[in-house]
Chain A
Amino acid sequence: MNNREWRKDLEDVLNEYVASSSNPSKELLSEWIRRYPEYRQEIIDFTASWSLMNHLPPSPDIQEVNEETLVLRGMSIVQNLLHQQKQALNRSNPSLSGLLDEGKKQGLSIRVLAERSIMSPALIRKLDRRLIRFPSIPSKAIERIAQAISATDSLVIHYLQGEPKSMAGARYRSSERISSSKEQEDFFNAVREDLSMEEEQRRYWLALESHDESRGNEE
C-alpha cells in the first residue's frame, strides 16, 4: 500500500470511528485499536486531540471572530481551488476538436453517432457546430454524447460551451460573437423543428423539456 492509499484508508477508519460515538471513551479507543492495530498510534493521537477539543475551556481571548469574514475567507478558498483545477485541466486535458471528429476517430459515422445519442444527424451536426445554446442542453444529452464518443461528460461540456463554429469549421471572429450567440438555438426548439428526427426520439427529448426549458430561460 502506498502512502496515499494508507492515508485514504486511515481517513475512512477515522470517519467511522467518529461516526460511532459523539464522545471518545477509553473503551471505544481500545475497541478501535483492536480492530485496526495498524493505525494504533494514529488512533491514539486522534483520540487525545478529540478529547482535548471537547474538554478544553474557551480561550480567554475576548476578540470575537466575525462569521461573515469566515464565510468570505471560505469562499475565497473555494474559488482558488476551482481556479487551480481549471488551470490543471487546461494543462493536462486537451479539449475535444469536435463531436464528429471524435466519433470519426473511433470509426463512428454521423448516423451511428446520432443513433447512439438518440438524436438525428442534423441535431448532432448543430451540436458539433455549437449552434445550440449550452444552458438549454439537458444533462441527459451530454451523457449520451459522451458515452457515444467514449469521452468524459466534462470534456463534452467544455466543448459545447465554446464559441459557435462556421460551416467550414472556423470559429466565429470575436466581432461576430454577439450576433452568433443570437443565432444559437434552444435545444428543445431544435428538437421540435427537426423534420428528420424520428418521432420516438422527439418524444424522448421533449419529455425532459418542462424542467430544462425553465433552466435555460433563467440564464
Chain B
Amino acid sequence: MHIQPLTHHNNAGELYQRPNIITAQIQNVIELPPYLLFPRARISDSESPDFLKEECLVYLIREYHRRREEALVNDLAEILIRRSTGIIQSKLVSLTADAKQDAHSDVIAKLFDLILDMENDRGDFLQVRYWVVIERLTIDVFRRHCRTLSQKKNTISISPSVFSNSHDDQMQARNLVSGETLADTQLSVEELMLLQDGLNILDEQHKVAFILRHYASWPIESHDPLEPTISQYFDKTPRTIRNWLTQVEKQLERWRQNEQP
C-alpha cells in the first residue's frame, strides 16, 4: 500500500524524512488486520523485533483517522498515551500532584491536536522524532503552568515580562548585602547535587536565578549585547542579581546545616 509522504519542510527548506526503520515498520504493518496489528502495537519492550516505534504509531493513527475508522484510532491512541505518560510525568516532577495532572492533560491535548489535524502537516515531525516533540510540548506546558501557579500564589511570575525594573530594584537596593559579599561564586557539581533538594525552600525568582546561574551556566551580565544574561532575563541590574544569588547561597547553606545529622 502507498504510504502517505511527509510534506512539511523545516526552516532550512528541507523536507522532513522519516527514518528508514519507521518507513519499514509502516510498510510491514499497514495492511495487517486489527487482530494482528494490535498485539504488535501493544508490545512495550523496545528490544523486541516486533516492537513498533512511536513514530510508526503516529502514522497509523493518522491513516486510520483518514479512513475514519474511529475504533482503531481510539485503540492506537490509548497505546500511545500509555507509552508517553511515564515520560511526561518524569519531566513534571517539580509540579504538585494537581498541577502535574493538568499539565499531563495539556501535553496530550497538544499532541493529539497535531496528530489528528488532517488539514495540516505541522505534526509531521512526530513521525521523525516523536520524543523530541514530546519534550518540546512538555517544556511549553511546564512554562505555562509555572506562570499560572505563580500568579495564583500571587508571587512573582518566572516570566521576565512581569518584572518592572525601577520599583523592584529600589526595594532591593534597600536590602542589599554589602558589596564585598557579592562574589559570583562557582559551585562544584557535587555541591549543586547536594543543594538541589533545598531549592524548594526558595521563592520563585530566587530559585530561577540560582538555577540559571549554577545549573545552566548563564552569565549575570555580559559585554556581548547579544549574549543572554540573567540580568536581562529578569530586567534587573547585575548588582541585584548578585545580591539575590548571595542571599540564596546563604539560605541554602543554612538549609544544608540543618539537614546534616
- Given A25-B217, A56-B199, A214-B33, A79 and B74 touching (CB < 8 A)? yes
Chain B residues near A150 (CB-CB < 8 A): none
Q: Cα distance A29–B211 when bound, in Å?
A: 15
In A155-173, which residues have CB < 8 Å from any B CB? 157-158, 161
B208 touches A52 (CB 8 A): yes
From residue A198, how far is it (CB to closest CB) to chain B in Å?
22
B112 touches A78 (CB 8 A): yes
Taking the complex as formed, is B31 at the interface, i.e. its CB lies under 8 A from any CB of chain A? yes
SS of B interface (majority) = helix
Set A14, A47, A64: member contacting B216, Cβ < 8 A: A47
Interface string of A59-75 (1 = CB under 8 A from B): 11101110101110111
**Interface size, chain B (Cβ < 8 Å):** 76
Taking the complex as formed, is B136 at the interface, i.e. its CB lies under 8 A from any CB of chain A? yes
Q: Cα distance A113–B74 when bound, in Å?
A: 34
A48 touches B158 (CB 8 A): yes
Q: Cα distance A33–B228 when bound, in Å?
A: 9
Q: Give chain A's interface residue range (CB within 8 Å of chain B).
A: 35 or more
Q: Which residue of A lies closest to B211 (CB)?
A: A55
A18 touches B135 (CB 8 A): yes
A75 touches B78 (CB 8 A): yes
A143 touches B2 (CB 8 A): yes
- 9 A–B contacts from the bound complex (CB under 8 Å): A15-B129, A26-B218, A45-B143, A61-B96, A63-B97, A75-B81, A78-B108, A140-B1, A142-B67
Q: Which residues of B contact A (CB under 8 A)?
A: 1-2, 8, 10-11, 31-36, 65-68, 70, 73-74, 77-78, 81-82, 85-86, 89, 91-97, 100-101, 104-105, 108-109, 112-113, 116, 118, 122, 125, 129, 132-133, 135-136, 138-140, 142-143, 146, 158-160, 196-200, 207-208, 211-212, 215-219, 226-228, 233
Apart from A8-B122, A82-B74, A139-B1: 13 A-B pairs, beta carbons within 8 A: A11-B136, A12-B10, A15-B125, A19-B132, A51-B211, A54-B215, A59-B95, A60-B200, A67-B85, A82-B73, A161-B68, A211-B31, A215-B33
